[in-house]
């Protein structure tokens, strides 16, 4: 009899253990990998945590396709680049391509294509030569690739400005005569600041640019491949163009 009781007790104990395991909260064996992604305050590409921006929303789509969880961190653009360069495994996006940057980061895929022009409130500037010889004071974003381009082309009539909001105000009030930027950005910032974007005189595109997704040089090759494939897939997703068009209105 005692042997039967012992066996029964063991069976009940095993049954209780099985039930306990069954009732435990499920473990997510497929939890998305978390990746830090840096960007700057670059409206309308990257605006803020609250208002997002074109490339912020695109990055969310890329992360969804790649099966990762991105933590987007904002910083002034120069500092964002320094942080990404010194944070192993991190991403940086809305980055222009240059030889010096290609030594610091691995370029993964283009997020979107943009054009840059000289934007004024009066005279139309349709070329670098026209803008350089005009004598106009030209605003350019602090620490931007655009500043490097204009320096290389011999511009001396430049003012570096930290933010697009400040740049729009300076153009509206005449503190600068022209703004070297994306037409998308100029229209967006004038509208956001309460100015009439119809007043803008936008010259012909003088450069055709790519807004890149790049990564710290230590990025895992598998993650890089997944992100590259995700970007390619999102380019064919109707949501991509809806996002781009919404910010361009």
- Identify whether 18 is part of a domain: no
Residue 91, pLDDT > 80, answer yes
CA-based nearest residue to 214, from 205, 206, 223, 201? 223
- From the CB of residue 127, how many other CB atoms can be counted at a distance below 10 Å? 12
Average the pLDDT over 198-219 and give the result.
96
Does residue 247 have a pLDDT over 50? yes
Examine residue 9 and state whether it is found in any structural domain, yes or no: no
Per residue, the 3-state secondary structure of the chain, as one string, reads: CHHHHHHHHHHHHHHHHHHHHHHCCCCCCCCCEEEEEEECCECCCECECCCECHHHHHHHHHHHHHCEEEEEEECCHHHHHHHHHCCCCCEEEEECCCHHHHCCEEEEEEEEEEEEEEEECCCCCCCHHHHHHCCCCEEEECCCHHHHHHHHCCCCCEEEECCHHHHHHHHHHCCCCEEEEEHHHHHHHHHHCCCCHHHCEECCCCEEEEEEEEEECCCCHHHHHHHHHHHHHHCCCHHHHHHHHHHHC
Asked whether residue 54 is assigned to any structural domain, the reply reads yes
Q: Residue 152 domain-assigned?
A: yes
What pLDDT, on the 0 to 100 scale, is given for residue 142?
Answer: 86
pLDDT at 21 over 90: no
pTM for the structure as a whole: 0.75
In which band, very low, low, confident or very high, does the pLDDT at 31 lie, cut at 50, 70 and 90? low
- Which pLDDT tens digit goes with each residue over 150-200? 999 999 999 999 889 999 999 999 999 999 999 999 999 999 999 999 999
Half-sphere exposure of 136 (CA within 13 A, CB side): 24
Q: How many CA atoms does the CB half-sphere of 128 hold within 13 Å?
A: 13
pLDDT averaged over every residue in the chain: 88
> Considering only 81-85, 96-100, 107-111, 204-208, which range has the smallest mean pLDDT?
96-100
* pLDDT over threshold 80, residue 73: yes
pLDDT (mean) for 221-236: 94
Q: Quote the percentage of the chain above a pLDDT of 90.
A: 74
Per the structure, the complete domain to which residue 90 belongs is given by 34-249
- Does a structural domain hold residue 192? yes
Statement: residue 59 has pLDDT above 70: yes
Q: What is the pLDDT of residue 25?
A: 42
| Total number of domains in the chain | 1
* Predicted pLDDT at 20: 41
Give domain status of residue 128, yes or no.
yes
Is the residue at 75 inside a domain? yes
d(CA 203, CA 127): 8
Distance, in Å, from the CA atom of 104 to the CA atom of 20, rounded to the nearest integer, reads 52
* pLDDT the model gives residue 47: 94
Q: How far is residue 173's CA from residue 168's CA, in Å, rounded to a whole number?
A: 9
Band of residue 26 on the pLDDT scale cut at 50, 70, 90? very low
Position 8 scores a pLDDT of 42
In this prediction, residue 6 has a pLDDT band, given cuts at 50, 70 and 90, of very low
Q: Assess if residue 20 is contained within a domain.
A: no
Domain harbouring 121, CATH code: 3.40.190.170
């Amino acid at each position: 009899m005692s042997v039967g009781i012992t066996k029964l007790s063991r069976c009940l104990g095993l049954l209780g253990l099985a039930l306990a395991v069954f009732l435990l909260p499920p473990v997510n064996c497929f939890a998305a990998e978390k990746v830090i992604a840096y960007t700057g305050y670059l409206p309308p590409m990257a605006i803020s945590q609250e208002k997002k921006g074109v490339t912020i929303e695109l990055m969310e789509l890329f992360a969804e396709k790649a099966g990762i969880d991105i933590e987007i961190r904002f910083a002034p653009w120069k500092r964002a680049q320094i942080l990404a360069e010194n944070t192993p495994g991190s991403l940086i996006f809305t980055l222009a391509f240059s030889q010096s940057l290609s030594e610091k980061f691995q370029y993964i895929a283009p997020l979107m294509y943009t054009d840059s022009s000289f934007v004024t409130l009066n005279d139309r500037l349709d070329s670098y030569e026209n803008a350089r010889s005009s004598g106009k004071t030209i605003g350019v974003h602090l620490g931007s690739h655009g500043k490097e381009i204009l320096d290389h082309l011999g511009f001396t009539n430049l003012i570096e400005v930290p933010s697009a909001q400040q740049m729009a105000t300076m153009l509206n009030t005449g503190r600068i005569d022209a703004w070297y930027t994306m037409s998308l950005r100029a229209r967006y910032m004038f509208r956001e600041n309460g100015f009439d974007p119809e007043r803008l005189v936008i010259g012909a595109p003088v450069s055709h640019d790519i807004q890149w997704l790049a990564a710290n040089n230590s990025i895992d090759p598998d993650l890089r491949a997944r992100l590259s494939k995700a970007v390619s897939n999102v380019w064919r997703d109707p949501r991509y163009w809806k996002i781009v068009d919404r910010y361009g209105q």
